[in-house]
Structure 1
Amino acid sequence: MNLLQSLLIFLSFVAINAFFFFQVPLPDNFLPELNTLRQVYANTYNVSNMHKLNWSRALVDIVESLSEMRTFEPKPQKTWRYAKLESYETVIKTTKKAVDAYISKPFNYLSSMQELELLNPLQRFVGCSSGIGGHRLIVCLIGPVGNFTIFDMSGNSRKIPGSECHKRYQNEGGLCVANIKEEESYYGHPQDIFEDVNQIRKEYSKNFNVSNMHQLIWSDDLLKNLQNMVWNNGSGGARVTWRYVHLPTYIKISIESELSTFFNKTPLEKRLFIRSNSDTTLGSLEFLNPLQKFIACSRISNVPSLICLLGTEGKFTIFDSSGNSKEIPGSNCQKGYTNDSGVCVANKPEEESYFGRQLDFMSDVNKIRRRYAKEYRVPSMHELTWNNKLAEVLEPLDMTGLRAQSKKTWRFGALNTYDNIIYHIEADVSSFFEMNRTAKKLHIKNLSGHGTMYRLEFLNPLQKTIACGRKEDDGVTYVICLLGPEGNFTIFDTTFQSHAAAGSKCDEGYHDEDGLCSLQIPTQVPIIDYRKMANEEKNEATTGKPEPEPLFENHGNEISLSHLFIFLLAKLFLNI
């Protein structure tokens, strides 16, 4: 080891020890005493919105990331402000002095109001650390508000302490206290994002006359997938049935500011921005994709900040942002949604799901089978019908069991959701259809080792039955469908050389219905329920229901009239 290396190691050791030497341990009574002080001022000055501060490890991480700054003078941020403290033990005393000084002569410092920052009633989180710049300096970050606000110190306030609390906070002795402390975070609360984003979507729908802006529904299914992911800055599952937004922290004005920046761009700048970022994420602009219907936000294990997933669209779509649209806001809603004040709102939100509707899926999958049958002249493309027996087979199987038991009387295919099946099958198979014959055979051979041909399975013309259910694979939930009765994979001729007519070679019991071999509907023979009839007659007899009056044929009148006719006729002849 040379002299230079030894010197570097020594200096590093000194620096590390210096940092820990200047680290001041946090006293247990620091936060309780600080909150007691906030409560005293709330009740003394009738402060309606003084919140109890919760300790934030996230803010500690931020301040420690700035520990190398020799002079800690950062600019105020959107989601936090800071205060320098001489010591934890004297903070109550120095804060009271700062209040007295401010009352006698108000002052305003742009970067920090120092101890007065600890009395900003709107702040809800605090995190402190020491050793900044190699000094015994204690710095506290207070969030999530970036603007300094102080309560009315005139003594004239008539408000009720703790009467104007933040959502999910309640009044406890004049202080606004979190209902569930563990759910609150400096990074934001999912409920706030969910509500604020829907409000923003509604405003933009009205301002730009967006005909198909849908109200977002919170999705526990998306949340489960998100929480089970190992996030890798976008994750491999993105842009299929969901897109994402990465939020270092959440505050509504930061989203509004980012959106305002985009809409102030020129048309060319907007197009370039979307083109450059649509393969990853467009940030807050993702919240304005009008076709998205579901949202879930959470922090996950390997990412300290907040991530929101929006589904079920994997492709980014933006409305006409020119300001020239003449559309009626909320006039072009998807099935199950109706216009409510310019936004498409679900008729029954509790019945909507990120995974979509099974009934719609059955219609869509047969629709695309018919289309390909007609386009490629497939004579034997059969309609898929739901099969409860297959559903019973699928129910107990995990992914390992599926792979082991398939290829006998059924095969399986995988989907992200039931929604947009036509689009996803097209996207998956288009490249396959463009291959030459050799490449197709090689592709099928490569996929056969996976136990499934994935979405190509849904175009196997000889399959007739289907059953689907949700299964987890590596922590992510998919829709798995069994298709039978074929255990072998068959694909139709995709060379456009077929001379057969679509639907011309249907199996027994099937008939051609516009190119698709559909099940024949048997003629319904009326079933006479003799037991029901007997019971009805018995009930009528016991209830004493009056019988209908009998209809008598008028035979007597017919005889009398005939005799009268003969008599008159005879009399006529005699007179003649």
Structure 2
Amino acid sequence: MKAFNVFIVILALVCLHATGTKLVRTTKEEYLKELNELRRDTAKKYRIPNMHKLFWNDTLAENSLVDKNDGLLVTLRQTWRDSDPLKEVRNLDFDLAMENRSALINEFKNSKFMSELEVLTPGQQEIGCIEWFKAPYFTYCYLVPDGTGNSWNMSQGEPGSACAQGFVNDDGLCSPVIEPTPTAHPTGTKFLRNTKKEYIKDLNKLRRDAAKKYKIPNMYELFWDNALAEASLTSKFTGLWKTQRRIWMDSDPFKEVRNLDSDLAFDNRTALMKEFGVSWFMSEIEVLIPGQQRIGCIPWKRKYDYDGFSVSYFTYCLLEPEGTGNSWNMTQGEPGSVCASGFENNDGLCSPARPTTPTPEPATPTPEPTTPKPKTPQPKIVGPKPTAPPKASRLGSDSESEPAQDSNQPTDGASYGQVGMTLLLLISMIF
């Protein structure tokens, strides 16, 4: 029992130190939800009255990608998160004890990184994160507006009881009366500005449009793969140029590198396949390879030098299962008309076939009830109803069998003995 209690205490401490989910493995919405649950639990455990609810800020995420950190340690803090394996750096019971609060504030002013405490700073209201591998961490975030840690300068109290004007208590967190609207799109970077669901939707629209324009009959629908996103983050390639391809996308400003009308013309198909065999990066064409079915992407800043010009990309992706470009070896045809077994045409893309509902067997027809033939009416009997003759008495026991009736036996049921007694009585009266 004692060991069980110790386990529960350890589990509680771990729950206050991490969300349990890497950003690369989830959505921004789910990640933010877990961060706010972490802040709410901390506010309740340590009686922090001014813990604010966090909201996602895409601009902060983009700034963290391009190292634009104006206001660092003044109105901005940075943090690395999601260590793997999970590593507990701070002792929250000690750090957040009221008697150690002054020392905590001084440490904030002199340190650029306070580990787990960064995401628990009460005054922070907005956060933007990117997938970023800096061992042992997998996530990098910017938070505003508290760059100094001064919001820790608050006595203990009921969670949510010391909210500024314009904020209300939301179960222990200070939440704005009017929630902020999503930030505008300043740079044109697509992946950082979209959910994974919206991003993959845009990519499939691009593939569908290309299939229809260039009559590609075997273009497959792409699906998101978190494992590929994490592999691209840690550079763990298992089949590069065999079963995998990689691509940098979302240039800013947008730069068209390939001429698709020339590259995808059927007359140039052989040359295209040869180029795939010797090139490790084919720019825009990478995401249009017909045979690709899965993709995983992360924010990634890279400047790529071409002949005579350079392009800055902001998204990095891995695609499977094709690493060679061999799916281009296909004659032109109706989009979606050459799909492998288990796939079906989905408006020009080969999508996994939907399970077919088995056709129910026809029910056994219920025989219609037959109308009974009407009985032939019997003639009506006039007069008294005839009565049945009285039954003869049984002389033997129930165990004895009844004798067979003689056809000459009187029909009134009288026995021979009764007839004989009547005759004897008449003779005696005469004589």
Q: TM-score range by the shorter chain?
A: 0.3 to 0.5
Q: TM-score if structure 1 supplies the norm length? A: 0.27
Report which structure shows greater RCO (CA 8 Å, sep ≥6). Answer: 2
Q: TM-score if structure 2 supplies the norm length? A: 0.35
